[in-house]
């Protein structure tokens, strides 16, 4: 029967190894970009109120889809709105 002794240096090296491996895993995975956003997400991104978002829907500045009582907005259109590139939908 053999006895192995771990030193503080061994534990420190193992800890650094684990941290580096975790960093590799985290940096490899790209965040998933949503295709559609809910109203609260659009309001947060654009920094607008619920009434302003409703006005954008009513005057057809911001196209949407509705499923039940939930409104969904195309993430690309919202992104273009932020960049000021969506003339097709009347967004300046």
Residue 60 within a domain: yes
Split into its structural domains, the chain has a count of 1
> What is the C-alpha separation between 23 and 42, in angstroms, rounded?
31
Assigned domain for 14 exists: no
Domain assignment of residue 8, yes or no? no
Q: Does some domain include residue 28?
A: no
More reliable by pLDDT, 45 or 66: 66
In a domain, 81, yes or no: yes
Under a CB-based contact definition with an 8 Å cutoff, are residues 37 and 45 in contact? Answer: yes
The answer to whether position 19 is within a domain reads: no
51 part of a folded domain: yes
Per-residue pLDDT band for 29 (boundaries 50, 70, 90) equals low
Report the distance separating Cα 33 and Cα 86, nearest Å.
Answer: 20
* Residues 39, 49: Cα–Cα separation, whole Å: 10
Domain range spanning residue 73? 36-89
Could you tell me what percent of the chain has a pLDDT over 90? Answer: 53
């Amino acid at each position: 029967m053999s006895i192995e002794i771990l030193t503080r240096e061994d534990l420190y090296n193992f800890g650094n190894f684990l941290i580096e491996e975790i960093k590799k895993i985290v940096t490899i995975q790209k965040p998933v970009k949503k295709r559609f956003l809910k109203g609260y997400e659009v309001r947060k991104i654009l920094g607008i109120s619920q009434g302003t978002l409703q006005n954008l829907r009513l005057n057809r500045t911001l196209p949407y889809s509705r499923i039940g009582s939930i409104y969904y907005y195309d993430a690309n259109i919202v992104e273009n709105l932020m960049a000021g590139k969506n003339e097709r939908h009347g967004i300046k």
